[in-house]
Amino acid sequence: MEIDDVNSITVLGAGSMGHGIAEVAALAGYDVNLRDIEEEFVQKGYDQIEWSLGKLAEKEQISESDADAALERVTTYVDLAESVSDADVVVEAVPEKMEIKKDVYTELEAAAPERTVFATNTSSLSVTELAEVTDRPEQFCGMHFFNPPVRMQLVEVISGAETADETMDLIVELAEEMGKTPVRVHKDSPGFVVNRILVPQMNEAAWIVESGDATVAEVDSTTKYGIGLPMGTFELADQVGIDVGYHVLDYMNEVLGDAYEPCPLLEEKVEAEELGKKTGKGFYDYEGGEGAQIPSDEVREDVERRLMAVMANEVAGLVQNDVADAEAIDRAVMLGAGFPDGPAKMADRAGLGSLVETLDELHEETGAARYEAVELLRELGESGEGFRGGDAGEESEGHDYETLSVEVRDNVGHVELDRPHRMNTISEELLDELSAAIDALNDDDGVRAILLSGAGDRAFSAGADVQSMASGGGQPVAAAELSRKGQRTFGKLEQSDKPVLAAIDGYCLGGGMELATCADLRIASERSELGQPEHNLGLLPGWGGTVRLQRIVGAGRAKEIIFTAERYDAETMREYGFLNEVVGNGELDDRAWELARDLASGPPIAQRYTKRAMRSGWESADAGLEVESQAFGLLYNTDDLMEGVTAFMGDREPEFEGK
């Protein structure tokens, strides 16, 4: 079956995952049959889809007509046979119990057409074992969405032992048609990729506390502010549900052995029904207490090394067993768990050799199987290589960017902030890569203009990546140097002799707005929101915003924007003079490239000296006027001037060459 042959999708299970998957499929234009075992359940799922579509329309992420059309594509069923009678693909999202799923597939096999492809949304159970219930294991794979499916970008596409390549290709394309980012999991293995990283980390955190080596507060402080992850490990366990992680771990232990033995602390929490937020109490108290209050000053280096070593060992196991490669693992964990960097890359940066030493020390001390270093990790540690290539512990050189997408087209150097999983927030690594990219484009004579944008349609950039930067522990000297680094990097755009255009779609906040401030021209989509919210954090704009913003909108408006810390719509920012143009939500890309090409076709020498004269004029009107007069005289002796005059006299467009 080809992707163009897929028209009808049945989703079995109308719970939180099921109705979310159904909504995603309907928004992608597919006819969707939503089925559950009772009318009450399926109607509740349908109502949730209607509510969610209404919210998307209210936030102008989709139009009301698109919301209505998507809802019309959803039909509800209780009878399984009726729901799958004409299904091209069935996505099963019933409760995460092997026997329940097997019963469903027994009934499904008898009712579905022979052509129908089966995809299970299981988060950890064996795809191969489920497929064996059917007579079509080659047409069976995993299609693991993350919660909530409407918002989360990642879909793990998992191959069973007999899954055909054509089936994998189809489901990968289907995920892409739904606007998701699929990651291929080449081999059926408990936990697949994301849970295989997160759950053992949760278990190790519990063992650290169980053994008395550190407190819950110290572990979570280390995870959040030392490593720089979105949540503390115990905070995340409470958020997801301690029982959910425990059952995945228990399954891993059953299939993979003693290395995944659950910590007694987790078992105690499950038996006491202290499962986290959903029960009011877990590792933190959400009813009588204040919930997860994580200190920023209890980071422990030994705890960080231990957690990093266990995580690196899991990455090595996945790679060694051909479950997924390092790049896919990083992409999956960043999208599915919100890590600022992928675990393979983080381990490379920490140094694989030293992480192996940590595992060896722990294994010698405890004898626990979970500290036995995977053969691949030991080999890489001894060789000095990293998971992602190059030497572990060293940053790669050249222009192979991790956080940016850079291309040159039609004499336009396009720099796209490429961290959509983090709303294109700006990390130190992005600053370093942006600095290198600007230098490369400035040195490229084939580049006449620079275009800045952000990947995805949610954000140009939502500001600084506070979580990754918090991993420095909040040292004043380091923070001041970070401010200077951002000022210098953004200043390269301001100092560039080439015109710079910022195309803003979605959030443009904090450091993202400071970046846009350094462009010569700024255009935005109607849905964009802009602002400097630093005062809400007790900070001030630290990447040039206090100086540069007032030059564009005036001191009064700049103080209003910074002091109020409010968000402003695009039209208001156009009225304030910050934006040159506001366009329709679907028109930004075309208009940005049109304007960038116009800038690139301009006279390079004149543009260069115009920017220099205007920069000089900021500091001193006399200095600016002097640069202007000298440049005016210099331009009289250029080929570009003759081309411009000749083109004007001949009533044609000039073709400037910068000579």
Residue among 33, 123, 411, 525 flagged as catalytic? 123
Instruction: Tell me if residue 123 is catalytic.
Output: yes
Instruction: Tell me if residue 144 is catalytic.
Output: yes
Sequence-separated (6 or more) residues with CB below 8 Å from residue 234 = 202, 205, 216, 219, 220, 282, 283, 284, 292
Element (H or E) spanning 382, and its range? helix 375-383
Q: Are 370 and 200 in contact (CB under 8 A)?
A: yes
Closest-CA residue to 193 (of 139, 136, 123): 123
Our CA dihedral for 437, 439, 440, 444, rounded to 10 degrees, sits at 140
DSSP string, 209-221: HHTTSS-HHHHHH
Q: Are 419 and 405 in contact (CB under 8 A)?
A: no
Q: Please state, in angstroms and rounded to a whole number, the distance separating the CA atoms of residues 483 and 403.
A: 19
Element (H or E) spanning 500, and its range? strand 500-504
Q: What are phi and psi of 170, to 5 degrees?
A: -65, -45
Q: Please state, in angstroms and rounded to a whole number, the distance separating the CA atoms of residues 620 and 497.
A: 19
Q: What are phi and psi of 526, to 5 degrees?
A: -60, -35
Residue among 23, 92, 156, 534 flagged as catalytic? 156
- The pair of three-digit structure tokens given for residue 18, joined into one six-digit string: 């099921």
User: Count of residues for the chain?
Assistant: 659
Residue 506: CA count within 13 A, CB half-sphere: 18
Which one-letter amino acid corresponds to residue 380?
L
Q: What are phi and psi of 545, to 5 degrees?
A: -65, -35
Look-up of token digits 């203009």: 449
C-beta neighbour count of 633 within 10 angstroms: 9
Residue among 92, 126, 144, 314 flagged as catalytic? 144
Q: Is the dihedral of CA 191, 327, 142, 340 positive or negative?
A: positive
Look-up of token digits 């033995």: 261
Alpha carbon of residue 610 to chain centroid? 38
Q: Please state, in angstroms and rounded to a whole number, the distance separating the CA atoms of residues 542 and 565.
A: 14
Look-up of token digits 């998957």: 21
Residue among 8, 124, 159, 195 flagged as catalytic? 195
Q: What are phi and psi of 459, to 5 degrees?
A: -160, 135
Q: Please state, in angstroms and rounded to a whole number, the distance separating the CA atoms of residues 484 and 430.
A: 15
- The pair of three-digit structure tokens given for residue 9, joined into one six-digit string: 């999708």
HEC string for 474-487: CCHHHHHHHHHHHH
Q: Please state, in angstroms and rounded to a whole number, the distance separating the CA atoms of residues 297 and 563.
A: 29
Instruction: Tell me if residue 536 is catalytic.
Output: no
Instruction: Tell me if residue 156 is catalytic.
Output: yes
- The pair of three-digit structure tokens given for residue 336, joined into one six-digit string: 């599915």
Q: Please state, in angstroms and rounded to a whole number, the distance separating the CA atoms of residues 345 and 324.
A: 15
Q: Kindly list the strands in the beta sheet with 521-525, ordered across the sheet, starting from the edge strand earlier in the chain.
A: 404-409, 412-417, 449-454, 500-504, 521-525, 581-583
Sequence-separated (6 or more) residues with CB below 8 Å from residue 509 = 459, 461, 462, 463, 529, 530, 531, 532, 533, 567
Rounded to the nearest 10 degrees, what angle do helices 242-256 and 194-210 cross at? 100
Give the DSSP letter of residue 279.
G
Q: Is 76 helix (H, G, I), strand (E, B) or coil?
A: strand
Peptide bond into 148 cis (omega under 30): yes
Query: Which residues are identified as catalytic?
Result: 123, 144, 156, 195
